[in-house]
Structure 1
Amino acid sequence: MLATIGRMMFFMLWAALLARLVTGQSQDSCYADDVNPYLLFATDTPYEEVNDMNARPVIIEQCEAKQFWLISRHGTRYADADEVDDLKDLYDLQAKIIKNHEKDGKGTLCAQDLENLKLWTLQVVSNVKSDLTPQGYKDLHDLGDRFKSRFPALFNQTVTKDSFKVRFTTKQRTAASAIAFVDGLFGTGMGLEFPEPLDDDLLIKPYASCKKWEKDVESNKDTTKEMKNFEGGALVTTLLGTVSSRLGFDKTLDIDDINLIYSACRYDKAWHLDKVSPWCAAFTDDDLKVLEYREDLELYYSTGYGNDLNKKVGCPPVKDFLDRFSDIEKGNAQPAGVLYFTHHEMILLLLTSLGFDKDQQPLTSKNYDQMSNRQWRSSVISPFAANLAAVFFECGVGEPYRVQLYFNEHLLDIDGCTKGLCDWSYFKKQFGSISSSCNLDFC
């Protein structure tokens, strides 16, 4: 009997070992089974990964919200037409990875990850051109619904063409995001005017019309120098090798292949929050952090503190809400809500102008390890639907006017303020110079 059991155990173990050899498996875990995967994907991060879902009413004793001002990035979008064409190349990689595992016995994807990869198809076509996805609509609709819950008195009033102002850029994704947010606030956009977007919008997309910024930042090779140095460094070189080996390739994949896989990984997840992208199985958490930092390096110099010009280009929205709040203080009429919908560049430029999320040392290609807890992390500060809300209150006791700022729905705790509630007089002293000095004549 014992001998029979021994033989059975032997054959079972042999069968398990053979299965692993046939499929090239050597991983102890599957990405598909990871209950806490790393989902900070730089500017393609799902908004649900970073926002504050707490939508309890904001109650400030003897204070009434007079104006809600918002600037938001559009919600989750589809890949653009060029990206879609590039992503089609993944079908060839998909076939090779499956062959590597099943025929050649190479690669270390687990059986479930490999099966998921077999079932993968590209869920987008070229003609959507970066349009808002269904998830993107939900991003903004739910955002509007939560802000309505926080400030019910402000948003339950009768809606007229003058009570709420909406503005967006020329892209479908920002216009659709505006509609989604308004739907979340009121259930319908009826009564609100949606103006034609401006081709050159110096308020919510000034960088696109600033020739000096285009020349000195966007087209300047120095802007991407640190990112390219990082790509040529040891961390990315090692990543290329380990990912290639994990997928069963003898020859190291190039950075373009890795970029495609990374794009598919993060787009798949952003488009379908409840599903697992098989392409993410190509990376470890550490790999994803390296790729995230690479994008942060580019953004730090193109829209952040890596170039002094960015602070100047980012000031118009700051000036807008400061001037509007000053008008209310002076007794001038202002709408109850001002709603702007734009792009990630504007959000990052705005933060730079305000001096938020600034690290003590600059991001470089050499200090990845030291910057693991950096403030300038695009996954957190510029995911899909990233937003800054400023709320102006009139109060019956103490300081007559006060301000709160919410970033991605988190109440900002600003130095010198009490639990995120700032006296307007103090707030003006801290940030008023941004309004008085904001001038785009240099463009």
Structure 2
Amino acid sequence: MYTIYKYILFHFLPLALDSFSSLNRNKMIIILLSATLLATLAAGQSQDSCYADQTDPYILFGTATPYEAVSNTNASYVYIDKCEAKQFWIISRHGTRYADADEVDELKDLYDLQEKIIKNHEKDGSGSLCAKDLENLKLWTLQVVSNVKSDLTPQGYNDLYRLGERFKSRFPALFKQTVTKDSFKVQFTTKQRTAASAIAFVDGLFGTGMGLEFPEALEDDMLIKPYASCKKWEKDVEENKDTTKQMKKFEDGSTVTTLVGSVSKRLGFSKTLDLDDILLMYSACRYDKAWHLDKVSPWCAAFTEDDLKALEYIEDLELYYSTGYGNDLNKKVGCPPVKDFIDRFSDIEKGEQQPAGVLYFTHHEMILLVLTSLGFDKDKEALTSSNYDQMSGREWRSSFISPFTANLAAVFFKCDAGEPYRVQLYFNEHLLDINGCDQGLCDWSYFKQQFGSISSSCNLDFC
């Protein structure tokens, strides 16, 4: 592009000036030099603005958001006057995982797109990726091998390990006692990534090699993965075409259509790419960043921040109806874990024996179903294909509520003054400020009044 402006300046300008008077020549010089300078600056800006150079890139990637982007890493000791923590309960999504088998097969198609984008820039002179982003794209390879598909990544292990370390720092007395099969209960699903997440968390709590006895995972786990064994939920939600109706309408709408066109142009394509191609590049962008927090994904350079926010909303629409408030059945399916910790806390209140720690490891669907059951992160209006702009500050945002390692923790306290029992809830390690509670510390009697009905009415016989 610079060559064109250089040609205008040194070839066209002298010829044009010969035909003008002295006064007009001066005006012509000013006009042409100004236009050339502005065009050159504009060209330089489009070429010199590199995603690779961004110090704080947008990494809110829905369910593939790195946990570090949204978690609270302040591990200060939690002191509550005249109160002692009696039980720590947590349900956590697994840590960062590799792509699954289907995703890996699809991601391989990016090699063809990679080749075309490089050709667009180097041979055809189209596209607007800067040199550094283009060079990163040339070096990109798919970082998954066949035997680790869907498994926990090293980053995922580190996330859970550090999560365990931080909760130990907050509640040291609970985790300094002798570890036995009765003092700590651990449960996870049949997937390698949840079992490995459980190991990582326990390693963080007690030190690697503690040797806490883990039970066999259940095939039909109606406590931490009930949706997978609930026929009615599968029929009325998972297989229901209405579940993806709003998402598909948004994909067909002007926001996404414009996005697809601008990304295609940015990458040098004269013909608009398919949305599937855009989503494939988005998947690579998300996974690359989640797997390697300290590195840059060249596929993220294909998108502006506004593009990424629209792609984030596509997933939020799907999840709102498949696991959230878009279907009343979701609240019912999400109740077993809530019932579990409320019943356990009630047993402690009655003087019955309970483990010091209850540790569950599951998937993003369960985390979202639990939040729905509790009534958390509920917006005043439903998410739809037509209110994207109005929902920019929405509560139901998967980047914040179901990133990798998303977790809900509940801590039960016995107190020697005031209310004899109290409760705190933490979501992604942020203390939840529940209405009617004192800065996140709830009287147990009030908590039961607000949420006890979830336990008493929880019944999955309809499944």
User: TM-score range with shorter-chain normalisation?
Assistant: over 0.9
1:158 aligned residue (178, 188, 193) = 178
- Asked if 1 retains the 8 angstrom alpha-carbon contact of 2:88 and 2:411, the reply is yes
Q: Where does residue 330 of structure 1 map in the other structure?
A: 350
- Tell me the SS of whatever aligns to 1:356: coil
- Asked if 1 retains the 8 angstrom alpha-carbon contact of 2:94 and 2:405, the reply is yes
Cα deviation, residue 191, structure 1: 4.6
* C-alpha distance in structure 2 between counterparts of 1:203 and 1:188, whole Å: 27
Aligned amino acid, residue 229 of structure 1 = K
Q: Where does residue 390 of structure 2 map in the other structure?
A: 370
Cα deviation, residue 24, structure 1: 11
- Asked if 1 retains the 8 angstrom alpha-carbon contact of 2:203 and 2:210, the reply is no
Q: Where does residue 339 of structure 1 map in the other structure?
A: 359
* C-alpha distance in structure 1 between counterparts of 2:422 and 2:47, whole Å: 56
* C-alpha distance in structure 1 between counterparts of 2:44 and 2:437, whole Å: 58
Alignment deviations for residues 180-215 of structure 1 (CA, whole Å, 9 cap, x no partner): 000000003535220000000000000000000000
* C-alpha distance in structure 1 between counterparts of 2:79 and 2:110, whole Å: 51
* C-alpha distance in structure 2 between counterparts of 1:55 and 1:228, whole Å: 42
Provide closer, same or farther for how the CA distance between residues 214 and 419 of structure 1 changes in structure 2, counting only shifts above 3 A. Answer: same
Q: Where does residue 71 of structure 1 map in the other structure?
A: 91
Cα deviation, residue 128, structure 1: 1.3
* C-alpha distance in structure 1 between counterparts of 2:59 and 2:425, whole Å: 26
Aligned residues: CA RMSD:
1.9
- Asked if 2 retains the 8 angstrom alpha-carbon contact of 1:293 and 1:368, the reply is yes
- Asked if residue 417 in structure 1 is aligned to residue 437 in structure 2, the reply is yes
> Percent of pairs identical after alignment?
84
Q: Where does residue 122 of structure 2 map in the other structure?
A: 102
* C-alpha distance in structure 1 between counterparts of 2:450 and 2:421, whole Å: 15
- Tell me the SS of whatever aligns to 2:247: helix
* C-alpha distance in structure 2 between counterparts of 1:359 and 1:315, whole Å: 20
* C-alpha distance in structure 1 between counterparts of 2:47 and 2:63, whole Å: 30
- Asked if 2 retains the 8 angstrom alpha-carbon contact of 1:161 and 1:191, the reply is no
* C-alpha distance in structure 2 between counterparts of 1:133 and 1:116, whole Å: 22
Aligned amino acid, residue 118 of structure 2 = I
Aligned amino acid, residue 114 of structure 2 = Q
* C-alpha distance in structure 1 between counterparts of 2:367 and 2:248, whole Å: 24
- Alignment gaps of 5+ in structure 2: 1-8, 11-32
Cα deviation, residue 417, structure 1: 0.3
Q: Where does residue 86 of structure 1 map in the other structure?
A: 106
- Tell me the SS of whatever aligns to 1:79: coil
- Tell me the SS of whatever aligns to 1:194: coil
- Asked if 1 retains the 8 angstrom alpha-carbon contact of 2:90 and 2:360, the reply is yes
Greater Cα offset, 124-133 or 97-106: 124-133
Q: Where does residue 138 of structure 1 map in the other structure?
A: 158
Q: Where does residue 407 of structure 2 map in the other structure?
A: 387
Q: Where does residue 312 of structure 2 map in the other structure?
A: 292
- Tell me the SS of whatever aligns to 2:410: strand
- Tell me the SS of whatever aligns to 1:216: helix
- Asked if residue 250 in structure 1 is aligned to residue 270 in structure 2, the reply is yes
- Tell me the SS of whatever aligns to 1:319: helix
* C-alpha distance in structure 2 between counterparts of 1:128 and 1:223, whole Å: 31
- Tell me the SS of whatever aligns to 2:46: coil
* C-alpha distance in structure 1 between counterparts of 2:146 and 2:264, whole Å: 28
* C-alpha distance in structure 1 between counterparts of 2:444 and 2:212, whole Å: 29
Q: Where does residue 404 of structure 1 map in the other structure?
A: 424
* C-alpha distance in structure 1 between counterparts of 2:254 and 2:208, whole Å: 53
Q: Where does residue 124 of structure 1 map in the other structure?
A: 144
- Asked if 2 retains the 8 angstrom alpha-carbon contact of 1:55 and 1:150, the reply is yes
Cα deviation, residue 157, structure 1: 1.1
- Asked if 2 retains the 8 angstrom alpha-carbon contact of 1:24 and 1:109, the reply is no
Cα deviation, residue 25, structure 1: 8.5
Alignment of 1:343-354 (within 5 A): 343-354=363-374
TM-score w.r.t. length of structure 1: 0.94
- Asked if residue 438 in structure 1 is aligned to residue 438 in structure 2, the reply is no
- Asked if residue 282 in structure 1 is aligned to residue 302 in structure 2, the reply is yes
* C-alpha distance in structure 2 between counterparts of 1:24 and 1:281, whole Å: 17
Cα deviation, residue 28, structure 1: 4.5
Cα deviation, residue 26, structure 1: 3.0
- Asked if 1 retains the 8 angstrom alpha-carbon contact of 2:47 and 2:131, the reply is no
- Asked if 2 retains the 8 angstrom alpha-carbon contact of 1:269 and 1:275, the reply is yes
* C-alpha distance in structure 2 between counterparts of 1:304 and 1:198, whole Å: 25
Alignment deviations for residues 203-239 of structure 1 (CA, whole Å, 9 cap, x no partner): 0000000000000000000000000000000000000
* C-alpha distance in structure 2 between counterparts of 1:24 and 1:214, whole Å: 53
1:301 aligned residue (311, 317, 321) = 321
- Asked if 2 retains the 8 angstrom alpha-carbon contact of 1:182 and 1:189, the reply is no
Alignment of 1:254-269 (within 5 A): 254-269=274-289
Aligned amino acid, residue 174 of structure 1 = T
Aligned amino acid, residue 396 of structure 1 = D
Cα deviation, residue 342, structure 1: 0.0
- Asked if 1 retains the 8 angstrom alpha-carbon contact of 2:320 and 2:383, the reply is yes
* C-alpha distance in structure 1 between counterparts of 2:351 and 2:262, whole Å: 64
- Alignment gaps of 5+ in structure 1: 1-8
Cα deviation, residue 259, structure 1: 1.0
* C-alpha distance in structure 2 between counterparts of 1:110 and 1:380, whole Å: 31
- Tell me the SS of whatever aligns to 1:59: coil
**Number of aligned positions between the proteins:** 429
- Tell me the SS of whatever aligns to 1:64: strand
Aligned amino acid, residue 263 of structure 1 = S
- Asked if residue 187 in structure 1 is aligned to residue 207 in structure 2, the reply is yes
Aligned amino acid, residue 157 of structure 2 = Y
* C-alpha distance in structure 2 between counterparts of 1:26 and 1:287, whole Å: 17
Aligned amino acid, residue 461 of structure 2 = D
* C-alpha distance in structure 2 between counterparts of 1:51 and 1:357, whole Å: 16
Aligned amino acid, residue 57 of structure 1 = Y
- Asked if residue 211 in structure 1 is aligned to residue 231 in structure 2, the reply is yes
Aligned amino acid, residue 184 of structure 2 = F
